[in-house]
Amino acid sequence: MDYAPIRISDKFAEFDEQWSPRVIAALNDYQFKLARLEGEFVWHQHPDTDEAFLVIAGQMTIEFRDGHVRLETGDLYVVEKGIEHRPVAEAECQVLLIEPRGVVNTGTTGGDLTAKNDVWI
């Protein structure tokens, strides 16, 4: 058994790709993923699950068709299942995502920004 903590700053140092979540831990059927965000992501939704965003460093906005929420370091927001949204970060933002195993980052939209799933660091 490994009793060492997961150091989030060390894990972020292991990758620099944008919009490409990396799994750092699992809890039952949920995964904790780190992602670097910068620029505008695609509009998408996850019809079967909520998605949690915890900002580790930086600032971001989650846009909705009828509004938005601005998040800063230490802020947490849960996007409810089925709600179309688009993450946007003017400068790089480091985020911890919490979602069930197998969730595709682009939801039902797909496209060039679809990342590989289950990439552990």
Which stretches of the chain drop beneath a pLDDT of 70? none
Over residues 96-109, the pLDDT tens digits come to 999 999 999 999 99
The CATH code for residues 21-100 is: 2.60.120.10
List Cα–Cα distances, 71 to 2, 47, 48, 65, 76, in angstroms.
33, 23, 24, 17, 7
Over residues 39-51, the pLDDT tens digits come to 999 999 999 999 9
Q: Give the H/E segment covering residue 34.
A: strand 30-40
**What's the confidence (pLDDT) of residue 69?**
98
SS3 71: strand
**What's the confidence (pLDDT) of residue 1?**
84
**What's the confidence (pLDDT) of residue 60?**
98
**What's the confidence (pLDDT) of residue 68?**
98
